[in-house]
Amino acid sequence: MRRCHRTRGFVAITTALVITGMLTFAGLAFDVGYLQWSRMNLQAAADAAAMGGLRELELGSSNLVVTAGQNDASLNGFTNGVNNTTVTINNPPAAGGYQGNTNAVEAIVSQTVPTFFMMILGRNSVSVSARAVAMTSSSSGSIGGVIFALDPTASRALQIAGATSVTSAGSIIVDSNNSAAFEMEGSETLYMQNHSKVGVYGNWQLNGQTQVWDVASNAKTSPVTIASRVADPLASVPEPTSGTVVSGSAVTYDMNHKPANNTLQPGVYCGGLTVNNTNGATFTMASGTYIMAGGGFRLQSQAIVSATGGVTVFNTAANSSNMWGCSSTSSYSPVSINGQATLTMSAPTSGSLVGIAFFEDRSTTVTGTNPTANPNQIVGSSTVTVNGALYFHNTELQFSGANSVNGYMVIVADMLVINGNSTFGNNYSSLSSSNYFAPQSTGGGLVE
């Protein structure tokens, strides 16, 4: 009898020890899984922080690299100095394969997290960290973004309305200090690729069902506040100063009045150029610079125009500062592509105007100095495919269009309204190495 009691006691002790061991191992497995989950979140924050710092570096704002990186980490749930979190941003990286590389940004996000079952073994907390390095492929930096709205005070300096989706492969910068500097209306989604961001100097309003979506993270994101304004990224592009006069007065082409061999020639158009219904024929713009000396550039009705050989349209006026060889003055008029016009265009791939498709004279002013008074329009039912920059420094652009597949598009405008589905790529591989845009398709981004 005594022996039976001893056996039962042994079994009970053994069972208790086994159960305790199983619970301990289960607890350790839980802690390990929790730590792995924490590190995954830390890695996402480190990736975003490195890319955020890189964007500022590409924009030439090296003094904002740390601020931008820590801000992006905060947007991903890890704020420096909060909840035992440390976010360290280094430019150049302090360690690793890119140590000392001034074109690279290193982000290290660390957090002390509590344990649950490890406390049995005397470990109340564990330090978890993640690291990422992002690098630009251009030794001289780049403009980084693909959309710039430069007006310093305007409400709706950038507005997205009437589009189902807009996709941007690079950052978007809004320089206005207005409380509604960036606005979305309706149910649009702005898809941001490559962890790029919408940076706003003032504030933003995302109305209705609108949202900004980080494609790389497959998650909803928000615009971020930029600490200082960004200068005109195309300020160094030289303006044309002369050209051969092609037409001494305003010219209109259509199915009944065609250019020779259906081909338009570069040069000065006194009073501007208009193309109306071509009745299915394609008019080709030969490569070169087309100077609109007043009167503007218009594609209307059912015009079909191909300008893929390297074309820049420079929009200006014929006046006392430059008559461009014209016999009479002609006032500035905006670019207008609407109706059911079709335009396929590629900017020059080399030369002083490399990558510039539309170029508005920087001295252009509009009535009452109101950039919305006489906007440029690339809208309506028009089909617009452009590889190049659309540069309207002092006026508004109303836009809906896209770059070609695996191409690029940059917009720099005083104000911008995107009112149709649009795509902005950043593959600059078709351009010469000396251009105004970084060849981000050949190495820019996360490298560690």
R_g (Cα) of the chain, nearest Å: 29
* CA distances for 56 relative to 22, 178, 320, 357, angstroms: 51, 21, 41, 26
Of residues 347 and 112, the one with the higher pLDDT is 347
Give per-residue pLDDT as tens, 213-251.
Answer: 989 889 998 888 877 778 888 988 999 999 999 999 999
What's the pLDDT score for residue 216?
83
From the list 121, 118, 91, the residue with the least C-alpha distance to 106 is 91
Give strand pairing partners of 408.
426
Residues 438-447, mean pLDDT to the nearest whole number: 47
* CA distances for 217 relative to 19, 86, 183, 395, angstroms: 41, 22, 23, 35
- Which residues, 6+ apart, have CB-to-CB distance to 4 below 8 Å? none
* Ranges 66-70, 114-118, 333-337, most confident: 333-337
CA distance 387 to 313: 13
pLDDT band at 115 (very low <50, low <70, confident <90, very high): low
From the list 190, 187, 184, 185, the residue with the least C-alpha distance to 213 is 190
Instruction: Find tokens 């591989």 and name the residue.
Output: 429
The mean pLDDT of the chain is 84
What's the pLDDT score for residue 112?
85
- Backbone phi and psi for residue 125, each to the nearest 5 degrees, phi listed first: -155, 160
- pLDDT exceeds cutoff 50 at 23: no
3-state secondary structure of 87: strand
Residues 420-444, mean pLDDT to the nearest whole number: 72
- pLDDT exceeds cutoff 70 at 26: no
